[in-house]
Structure 1
Amino acid sequence: MSLADKVLAVNNDLPIRTRQPVHSGKVRSVYWLTEEDSRRLIREKGYNVAADAPLAIMVISDRISAFDCIWHGEGGMQGVPGKGAALNAISNHWFKLFREQGLADSHILDIPHPFVWIVQKATPVKIEAICRQYITGSMWRSYAKGEREFCGIRLPDGLQKDQRLPELLMTPSTKGILKGIPGVPEADDVNITRQNIEDNFAAFNFRNPDDIARYERLLKEGFEVISNELAKLDQMFVDTKFEFGYVTDAAGNEKLIYMDEVGTPDSSRIWDGPAYREGRIVENSKEGFRQLLLNHFPDPDILLNKERMPEREALARDNALPVEVLMNVSRTYVGIAEKVTGQKLELSDNPKADIIAILRDQYGLID
């Protein structure tokens, strides 16, 4: 079996029983279960959700996206070996710690296979909650141009690139295009202030103003849990993105939960501690791949300039990256997953066949 065959690139064609179109994102695909199957699984498996809660199967892939494009490699490689399993393993680890330490639950109810989550439908908070412990990336680029205010927070002069910030910064941005909110541009991914959220909490899907402080606490505590655990591995948690939503449990209580993924190389920057102390940045996250792409192509502006999106899409479509580039990414993801979980990542030769067998035999979701 070739390396390319071991990559799960297409994840929206599984024969899972559903009456709705499969929603396929850049990396994950979501299959909404029928009402009958949702109710049956809640009953059989004892999930702590309302009896009529809609459930979905979420299947991760090994696809790699960067700069809003999906990239591929030579020899028919449509993704990165081990990437999907690594992302899920890391998220599972952090979600479990959050639950054990009394922070909050997640949207995950069950993990039938390393590539698969059974999740409950959540009402998402329409905010990408970004936490930053170091000044780097887009924030550094803006700071270097003289900007000092970020999401209503003022930074002091004299900070150096990649320096630890005086405090953990929470710099939220919009998730999706929100219309009709005073002072918030109608565009995806725009920075917002705490004041924006307070003044329009319902437009961001918060149930009440008190939940803003709760969301900030979950953000800060979640960041600290991951940061402290990574520090034990001499890895640095630089910045990350969290997402939140609301679900109802079996007793009818509505609660704010973590959703999407947490603390992964896709959603975070993770730096190697020993290298940082020597004055070097070694990325254990997707940022390394982004930097490689910026150096690989002669005109990096195509990747950075949103107005050149058609050229960027053509670049990703027409350029197969060297296999070694994707294998480097694989080593980074698998390496950090095994460090975080303390377990070897077992990769299947045929993940799709394994997923189908488990969902058919153990969950009755495939005819």
Structure 2
Amino acid sequence: MNLADQVLDVNDDLPIRTDKPVHSGKVRSVYWLTDEDSRRLIKEKNYDVSHDAPLAIMVISDRISAFDCIWHGEENLKGVPGKGAALNAISNHWFKLFKDNGLADSHILDIPHPLVWIVQKAKPVMVEAICRKYITGSMWRAYDKGERNFCGIDLPEGLIKDGLLKDLLITPSTKGILKGIPNVPEVDDVNITRQDLLNNYTAFNFQAKEDVDQYEVLLKEGFSVINRELAKIGQIFVDTKFEFGYVTDSKGNEKLIYMDEVGTPDSSRIWDEQAYNNGEVVENSKEGFRQFLLNHFPDPDILLNKDRMNEREALANNNELPLASMMDLSKTYTTIAEKITGNAIQLSSNPKSEIVEVLGKEYGLID
């Protein structure tokens, strides 16, 4: 079987019935269902949402994004085999555990296929909710340059790269371009402080000032659940990003929920515990792929410098990455997913046709 056929690359051209434009992100595509189909499915499947809630089909691809670019490999490999199924399986696992532990719900209502979620529309909080247990990545780079205040948090002297922090730190950044917020530049992914959130909570889409406290509680509780489970399989939960939004349930209650993905190798750093205890960092996350790219190209500044975006996009478009590196990445995703969930990740022989079949036969959503 051709490996390229097992990869879902283009995921915004499925014949799913919709009367709105398909939203295609770096990895996922979202098909908003018609009002008629949304109401029908809510009734047929008894989803715990308002009877007129807009629903969507979210299809994850196997595309690999890093440094704001999409990368591809030799032999026409336009993604990483098993990546999409691995990410969905991990998120599904954590969302279920959150619910089992009495935390908030997620936006997922149904899982028709390993690459597909049926989700309810949420009003997103415009904050990348990041928390860190170790100092690494952008936080270490800032610290190493002499910065001692990060997202409004004063950091002590003497911290070491990849070292354990005294407390779990919440270091939020903006999600999307937000305008008119004092001291917050109008660009995506800008570090912000807790005080910024409190002073401008409506601009960040919080419904109430107290919800800033609630998102922090959900972030810490979610981190704690995942951290505890990863420790059981010899993995360290280093840092992560959560996203939150508001939905209304079938009883008319508005609530804050988890959305997007949680605890995955794309949204988190996960290290091998035994290797770390021996003084070595072994990444079981996309961070390893980022490091590979920085080492693979002779001028890593192109990947790190936002002013060189045109050159960066040319690198991604014009270079086929070695097949071996893409398959190593595939192994990273599928192995950590299998460790977390206890189930094997099965590669589809033709993912697109499988998705069309199940959404047609069982959900009546294919024209």
TM range (shorter): over 0.9
Partner of 1:7: 7
Q: Does 1:233 align with 2:248?
A: no
Partner of 2:254: 254
Partner of 1:189: 189
Partner of 1:334: 334
Alignment of 1:291-302 (within 5 A): 291-302=291-302
Q: Does 1:90 align with 2:84?
A: no
Partner of 2:177: 177
Unaligned runs of 5+ in 2: none
Deviation at 1:347, TM superposition (A): 1.7
Matched length: 367
- One-letter code aligned to 1:36: E
Q: Percent identity of the aligned residues?
A: 74
Q: CA offsets, 1:265-314, max 9 Å, x none? A: 00000000000011000000000000000000000000000000000000
Q: CA offsets, 1:172-224, max 9 Å, x none? A: 01111111111212111111111111111111111111111110000000001
Partner of 1:211: 211
- One-letter code aligned to 2:315: L
Partner of 1:112: 112
- One-letter code aligned to 1:282: V
SS in 2 for 1:189: coil
SS in 2 for 1:30: strand
Runs of 4+ in structure 1 over 3 Å off = none
Distance 2:352 2:306 in 1: 35
Q: TM-score, normalised by structure 1?
A: 0.99
Deviation at 1:341, TM superposition (A): 0.2
Partner of 1:348: 348
Distance 1:181 1:334 in 2: 41
Q: CA offsets, 1:66-121, max 9 Å, x none? A: 00000000110000000000000000000000011011000000000000000000
Partner of 1:141: 141
- One-letter code aligned to 1:330: S
Unaligned runs of 5+ in 1: none
- One-letter code aligned to 1:106: S
- One-letter code aligned to 1:85: A
Distance 1:247 1:223 in 2: 22
Partner of 2:23: 23
Distance 2:139 2:213 in 1: 24
- One-letter code aligned to 1:284: N
Partner of 1:39: 39
- One-letter code aligned to 2:319: N
Partner of 1:363: 363
Distance 1:345 1:78 in 2: 19
Q: TM-score, normalised by structure 2?
A: 0.99
Q: What RMSD, in angstroms, separates the aligned Cα atoms of the two structures? A: 0.5
Partner of 2:281: 281
Partner of 1:57: 57
SS in 2 for 1:76: coil
Distance 1:344 1:317 in 2: 32
Q: CA offsets, 1:115-140, max 9 Å, x none? A: 00000000000000100000001111
SS in 1 for 2:353: helix
Distance 1:198 1:295 in 2: 41
